[in-house]
Amino acid sequence: MVKKNAPASPCYLLLANIGQLLTLRGESAPRRGRALSEIGIIEDAAVLCGGGKILAAGPQRELLRDPWLKTNRKKVQELDCQKRVVIPGLIDCHTHPVFAEPRLVDFEKRISGAGYEEIAAAGGGIRSSVTAVRRLSRGELSTKVLTALNAMLEQGTSVVEAKSGYGLTLEDEVKSLEAIRDAARHWPGEVVATLLAAHVVPQEYAKKPNEYVRMVCDEIIPLVARKKLAQYVDVFCERGAFTQEQSERVLAAARKYGVGTRAHVCQFTAANLGPLLQHQPASLDHMDCVQPEDISLLARGDTVAVLLPGANYFLGHSNYPDARRLIDASVPVALATDYNPGTSPTPSMPFVISLACTHMKMSPAEAIAATTINAACALRLQARKGSIEAGKDADLAVFDVNDYREIAYWFAWDRCDRMIVAGQPAWSRG
């Protein structure tokens, strides 16, 4: 069972005595429809890691019979999981961690009845986070990003997609992406950086939005591509942000310079997804108001619909993305926190899993597949991430529960107990 070409002198780690192991094994492709509930549970399991990879995962009694393990047992550090649940490290495929301060004025205004778009139109919203980001240094921003990444790790997350988007000048977007890169160097997990210069039209371009789009396409995207600062370009396609036509220009520029694409779309108003899908986005995110004719289009492709219920929760909305309709129509669906100061200030993927179950009628199994293998697909990392199978990266989250459904059940209660990242113990509670 154990691969014989295991590295010569690595640090081997055996996770033993696992009560439930959720392998998510199977095809490394987006899970759709009923397949989204197939989470590959093994009871009384063990996982052997070496050289940063998973070498074997399966029933413990089978794994312990392996001849390689028998003769090399002394080289292997053992971790007793005490019958807890082990799942793939969670993948937060949509976050905005490069900001300076919480937006407490917006928060109180919303409590008094104002809406998100209304607050943004009155000078709050995304634009109000920009001044502070422009003022902070790369080092100061990087400290903020690292604090958020560490909070995410403690909730079970080992891969994070991190967007810029509160700088909105060439210098400040580059500074934000460099802050992400600097923070990532001090974090055990993997960070995927995304340029979101097209988050909103900055104040100084308010009267000439197309000028700003031109600057994003002709100056910011080429420079970021040349410096290899981002794997993706994102755009906020929405009333009050960028039109469909402007969004397409941004995505076309990304492709011209060899950068992947993704988009915020259908958060408050419906859009026409066909033209956006021409730009082969890895994901379309929010998707609260998808038009019925676009659902079958999505079902035929590999673009993942990333649903962000933390934003609905925090904005106090009673409507949530229609996950059931998307899943039942075979659209690949993932979940993420959308960690940001305006709509979703939470680092917690287990909370998002809980919201998906209680407010979007996803089963706990579907929600876990949507935060592991399908979230890996949303970042096109599925060849290495998102499941616990020999050959994949050894990123594992240990939860202090006896049954995986408890991850969704206990909410606002940190049950992640320990993180293994790249085969190494990366964090443990207490």
Residues binding Fe ion (CB under 5 A): 338
Nearer to ligand NIG, 267 or 346 (CB): 267
Strand partners, 306: 285, 334
Nearer to Fe ion, 212 or 314 (CB): 314
Rounded CA-CA distance 410/267 in Å is 28
- Shortest separation between residue 238's beta carbon and Fe ion, angstroms: 11
236 binds, among Fe ion, ligand NIG, none (CB under 5 to 8 A by kind): ligand NIG
12 binds, among Fe ion, ligand NIG, none (CB under 5 to 8 A by kind): none
- Shortest separation between residue 393's beta carbon and Fe ion, angstroms: 25
Rounded CA-CA distance 31/163 in Å is 25
23 binds, among ligand NIG, Fe ion, none (CB under 5 to 8 A by kind): none
Rounded CA-CA distance 290/286 in Å is 9
Nearer to Fe ion, 56 or 307 (CB): 307
- Shortest separation between residue 414's beta carbon and ligand NIG, angstroms: 24
Sheet of 190-198, strands arranged across: 90-95, 157-163, 190-198, 232-237, 260-265, 283-286, 304-307, 333-335
Q: Which residues bind ligand NIG (CB under 6 A)?
A: 96, 125-126, 129, 236, 264, 267, 311, 338, 340-343
Rounded CA-CA distance 230/260 in Å is 9
| Angle subtended at Cα 236 by Cα 258 and Cα 31, rounded to the nearest 5 degrees | 70
Nearer to Fe ion, 126 or 323 (CB): 126
281 binds, among ligand NIG, Fe ion, none (CB under 5 to 8 A by kind): none
Rounded CA-CA distance 261/249 in Å is 12
CA-based nearest residue to 259, from 318, 196, 349? 196
**3-class DSSP assignment, residue 407:** helix
- Shortest separation between residue 197's beta carbon and ligand NIG, angstroms: 13
Nearer to Fe ion, 263 or 426 (CB): 263
Nearer to ligand NIG, 339 or 427 (CB): 339
Nearer to ligand NIG, 117 or 406 (CB): 117
- Shortest separation between residue 364's beta carbon and Fe ion, angstroms: 24
Rounded CA-CA distance 245/303 in Å is 20
- The CA radius of gyration of the chain, in Å to the nearest whole number, is 21
- Shortest separation between residue 124's beta carbon and ligand NIG, angstroms: 9
Nearer to ligand NIG, 58 or 124 (CB): 124
249 binds, among ligand NIG, Fe ion, none (CB under 5 to 8 A by kind): none
Nearer to ligand NIG, 236 or 399 (CB): 236
342 binds, among ligand NIG, Fe ion, none (CB under 5 to 8 A by kind): ligand NIG
Rounded CA-CA distance 293/274 in Å is 10
**3-class DSSP assignment, residue 321:** coil
- Shortest separation between residue 338's beta carbon and Fe ion, angstroms: 4
Rounded CA-CA distance 129/99 in Å is 7
For ligand NIG, the nearest residue by Cβ is: 342
- Shortest separation between residue 300's beta carbon and Fe ion, angstroms: 25
For Fe ion, the nearest residue by Cβ is: 338
326 binds, among ligand NIG, Fe ion, none (CB under 5 to 8 A by kind): none
Rounded CA-CA distance 91/84 in Å is 20
- Shortest separation between residue 147's beta carbon and ligand NIG, angstroms: 17
CB neighbour class for 152 (10 Å; exposed up to 12, middle 13-18, buried from 19) = buried
246 binds, among ligand NIG, Fe ion, none (CB under 5 to 8 A by kind): none
Rounded CA-CA distance 421/111 in Å is 39
